[in-house]
Amino acid sequence: MAPYRTAIIFGLLAAVLAALGSWIPSLWGDEAASLLSAQRPIPSLFSMLGRVDAVHGTFYLLLHFWLDLVGYTPFNIRLPSAIAVGITVAGVVILANRLAGYRTAVVAGIVCMILPRVTYMGEEARSYALSAACAVWLTIILVRLIGRGELRKSRWLLYTIVLAVSGYVFLFSLLIIASHAVAVWSARTDRAVRKAWLLSTIAGVLLTAPVGIWGFIERGQISYLSTSDAVNFKVIAVDQWFGNANFAIVAWTIIGLCVIAAVVAVVRIRRKTVSVEDTVLRRQTSGVPSLFAVALSWLVLPVVLLLCMNAVSAVYTVRYFSFASPAAALLIGLAIATPSRRWIAPIAIVLLVATAAPSYLFQRTAYSKNNSDWASDAAVLQVHARAGDAVLFDESARPSRRPRLAKYTYPAAFRGLDDIALKTPYTKSATWMDTTYPLTSVLNKLDTVNRVWMIEYRSPGGTMDTYDLQTLKSLGFAITKEFPEHASVVLQLDRQ
């Protein structure tokens, strides 16, 4: 019973750690997409998914009912991800205990709890934390089935269902199938068990065909990746799981030592100079794969496969591999827990915690989410604007960075203000974005307005875009106050 109690305790601690400070960073473009999609009426949501974001539809639907239940705040919209992180860490403890023993389970649970990618996805209103939870528990189900030599279709049905759910939560989660193939074959299972896994996997993939087809049709949504520097050494070695260079150096060193230990173990086992039970390749029980085989293939194969796909069509970004974060924790935990010298584990954990702390603290600063400062913009208006004032937003920025999204992510600050350029609200459009009129088409709406607020986007350190300022000045408005923010400028213009 101890492993299950430990899993529950670690899961609760991980959820709390992820949730702490999650309300501090301003929401950003991807989270705005989650919020605006989730707040749509269900028929409108399904209509939108037929045009964009089909691969995120399951998460949007879950978030829709969650916000109906608890109401919207930045903390509330991110809380499901923190809960999913808790479920992920609990699963890591159970999986590690099953494959490598209690000591490894404790260490891997601690590592997973502090892993920068995990603490990041735990405070983001996207599906990545949930995809990691699905991946862990799908792997637990697989290990139990092959460990028992299970052949009954009714038992494999659960694997099929969870695999399909994983695909609907996040389509690229299906890449874990490659790792599971390694697990099945390395466990030296009977041919009948392998066949049962293969048939269950095919059934699960077929069940995800609708979201796969729509995802392919809508692939143009991520075409911008082809023009961004999405694949480079830093992105893969540091940003993908480890957050900062110091943590990455420590983590990759430990993982490298684990791989070297595995290679040495293979040689020594073949020479019969050591027992497999005394190496990182040990199996907790017969009939199951080693934790090393499961974790290494889970960490590496999905990345390799997607990078191969990326060579044909740009599909790679670091957040897509959040579902492999538990594998990094398992591999690091195994490496730390295996040596017979017990003092190694506490020192390694302290080093990991110390190097992870800067990433954790940065993640919970005001502008950590893609430099978004919508919360700051809203705070200015909350204090200084008054009912009846007009508000204009810089529409020249790329859609995910437009200041207009502050209106929906922090709505209290905009109540009573007249959004004079609004043409069609997002709830009535085919996407999660409003459509707007150019200012020159709505000048008559300013006839009775004496104050206008304008929020202009600027890249951090750059200059403001001066969006439509000349038009407003020609109508007699002049800038009376400027509120420079991190990635924007809030301008107060009064009629002279």
Summarised one tens digit per residue, pLDDT across range 454-481 is 999 987 777 777 778 899 999 999 999 9
Pick from 207-221, 224-238, 319-333, 364-378: least confident:
224-238
State the pLDDT at residue 460.
Answer: 73
Query: In this model, does residue 133 exceed pLDDT 80?
Result: yes
Given a cut of 90, whether residue 318 has pLDDT beyond it is no
What is the distance between the alpha carbons of residues 448 and 22, in angstroms, rounded to a whole number?
A: 41
58 — phi, psi (to 5°)?
-65, -45
Give Cβ neighbours of residue 364 (< 8 Å, ≥ 6 apart). Answer: 20, 21, 22, 24, 25, 123
Q: Give the pLDDT confidence score for residue 468 in this predicted structure.
A: 85
pLDDT at 227 over 80: no
The three-class DSSP label of residue 138 is helix
Q: Enter the pTM of the model.
A: 0.94
Indicate whether 113 belongs to any domain: yes
Q: Which of 115-124, 334-343, 412-421 has the least mean pLDDT? A: 334-343
Residue 170 lies in a domain: yes
Instruction: Assess whether 58 and 178 both reside in one domain.
Output: yes
Q: Are residues 8 and 122 in the same domain?
A: yes
Query: From CA 122, how far away is CA 129, in angstroms rounded?
Result: 6
Q: Are residues 263 and 384 in the same domain?
A: no
Burial 452-462 (b: 16+ CB within 10 A, else e): bbbbbbbeeee
Are 87 and 34 part of one and the same domain?
Answer: yes
Take residue 431 and report the two structure tokens written for it.
């996407």
Claim to verify: residue 165 and residue 282 sit in the same structural domain: yes
Q: Read off the pLDDT of residues 277-289 as tens digits, 9 standing for 90 and up.
A: 767 888 777 789 9
User: Are residues 294 and 395 part of one domain?
Assistant: no
The answer as to whether 277 is a domain residue is yes
d(CA 197, CA 160): 9
For residue 445, give the DSSP letter. Answer: G
pLDDT of 224: 56
Q: Under a CB-based contact definition with an 8 Å cutoff, are residues 406 and 394 in contact? A: no
Residue 183's pLDDT band, with cuts at 50, 70 and 90, is: very high
Q: How many domains does the chain have?
A: 2
Query: Does residue 237 sit in the same domain as residue 378?
Result: no
Pair (60, 144) in one structural domain: yes
Tokens representing residue 169 in the block: 């939560």
Percentages of the chain per state (helix, strand, coil), in multiples of 5: 65, 5, 25
Q: Residue 236 to residues 194, 252, 377, 432: CA-CA distances in angstroms?
A: 33, 12, 33, 30
Among 235, 239, 248, residue whose Cα is nearest residue 352: 248
Domain final position from 363, 389, 424: 363
pLDDT at 138 over 70: yes
**CA–CA separation, 81 and 187 (whole Å):** 33
Dihedral sign, CA of 424, 428, 431, 433? positive
Q: Which residues pair with 479 in a beta bridge?
A: 493
Same domain? 437 vs 489: yes
Distance from C-alpha of 83 to C-alpha of 9, rounded to nearest angstrom:
13
403: domain CATH number is: 3.40.190
The alpha carbon of 231 is separated from its chain's Cα centroid by a whole number of angstroms, namely 18
Is residue 37 domain-resident? yes
Are 86 and 466 in contact by the 8 Å Cβ rule? The answer is: no
Q: Tens digit of pLDDT for each residue in 27-36?
A: 999 999 999 9
Distance CA 32, CA 408 (A): 8
If one compares 459 and 335, the residue with the highest pLDDT of the two is 335
Who wins on pLDDT, 483 or 427?
Answer: 483
Answer whether residue 220 shows pLDDT above 70: no
Q: Which residue has the tokens 């099953």?
A: 98
205-214 pLDDT, tens per residue?
A: 999 999 989 8
In a domain, 177, yes or no: yes
Distance CA 168, CA 60 (A): 11
Q: Are residues 209 and 275 in the same domain?
A: yes
Give the integer Cα–Cα distance in Å for 156 and 429: 42
Q: Which domain holds residue 332?
A: 2-363
Q: Is 407 exposed, middle or buried (0-12, 13-18, 19+ CB in 10 A)?
A: buried
383 in the same domain as 320: no
In the predicted model, is pLDDT for residue 221 greater than 80?
A: no
CA distance 366 to 486: 9
* 298 found inside a domain: yes
What percentage of the chain exceeds 70 in pLDDT?
97
Regarding whether 398 and 293 lie in a shared domain, the answer is no
| Between residues 317 and 328, the one the model is more confident about | 328
Given CA atoms 239, 243, 246, 249 in this order, what sign does their dihedral have?
negative
Return mean pLDDT, the chain.
92
Alpha-carbon distance 324 to 241, whole Å?
Answer: 9
- Evaluate whether residue 369 is within a structural domain: no
- Burial profile 366-399: b = 16 or more Cβ within 10 angstroms, e = fewer: ebbbeebbbbbbbbbbeeebeeebbbbbbbebee
Among 363, 387, 407, give the residue marking a domain's end. Answer: 363
For 237-262, what is each residue's pLDDT tens digit?
A: 999 999 999 999 999 999 999 999 99
Q: For residue 368, is it within any domain?
A: no
Residue 228, pLDDT score: 59
pLDDT at 225: 57
Last residue of a domain, one of 330, 363, 396: 363
What contacts 361, CB < 8 A, 6 or more positions away?
none
Given a cut of 70, whether residue 1 has pLDDT beyond it is no
CA distance 308 to 316: 10
Q: What is the pLDDT of residues 258-267, one digit of tens each?
A: 999 999 988 8
